[in-house]
Amino acid sequence: MSGDGAAGELSFYESIGGHATFEALVARFYDGVRADPLLAPMYPQEDWEGSEWRLRSFLEQYWGGPSTYSETRGHPRLRMRHQPFAVTPTARDRWLAHMRAAVLSLDLPPLQEGLLWDYLERAAHAMVNAPDTGRDPLSPPPGRSLL
């Protein structure tokens, strides 16, 4: 949905408040992720700010904001960038729960909220690259201990 509309027409990015809105969305999302024992280890612990910048810049560009993400990192290649991580249905659902809380915190009009949420939900489903194993994802593999 990126790109400029007709002359005088606001992009989705602009219509929901631009950078400030995406900054709030991503900050709220990462507040949840940092405290999530399944998701937090998937992120570079020493670079939370970098993770926030990448997600915020990607979303801003996708929705018609600045093209800083592609100028800095190239094509998004979302599936390739997520491949090193076991994105299971459980991880997806946890990601979506934190993102849902973040989207709801924006208090957007229903149509805009629906458009944003629809994209985020479809993108999250597309990132799944591993099955759930049927065991607690926070426990060690059979025969191994955490210590």
Burial, 91: exposed, middle or buried (Cβ in 10 Å; 0-12, 13-18, 19+)? Answer: buried
Mean pLDDT of 23-39: 97
Q: Which residues are annotated as a binding site?
A: 125
pLDDT, tens only, 32-61: 999 999 999 988 888 999 999 999 999 999
For residue 122, what are its two tokens?
Answer: 């479809």
Q: Is the pLDDT of residue 146 over 50?
A: no
Quickly state the pLDDT bin for 8 (edges 50, 70, 90).
confident
pLDDT, tens only, 64-119: 999 999 999 878 787 777 677 788 999 999 999 999 999 999 999 999 999 999 99
**Check whether domain 13-127 has CATH 1.10.490.10, yes or no:** yes
Q: Which amino acid is at 81?
A: R
Q: Which residues are annotated as a binding site for heme?
A: 125
Angle, CA 89 vertex, CA 98 and CA 46 arms, to 5°:
50
Higher per-residue pLDDT: 142 or 12: 12
Stated pTM of the model: 0.83
The pLDDT value recorded for residue 144 is 45
Mean pLDDT of 107-136: 92
The pLDDT value recorded for residue 120 is 98
Cα→Cα distances 47→34, 43, 83, Å? 12, 8, 19
* Of 53, 50, 57, the residue nearest 71 (C-alpha): 57
Instruction: For residues 80 and 54, give the distance between their C-alpha atoms in angstroms, rounded to a whole number.
Output: 15
Q: Is the pLDDT of residue 6 over 90?
A: no
Annotate 33-59 with DSSP letters as a single string.
HHT-TTTGGGS-TT-HHHHHHHHHHHH
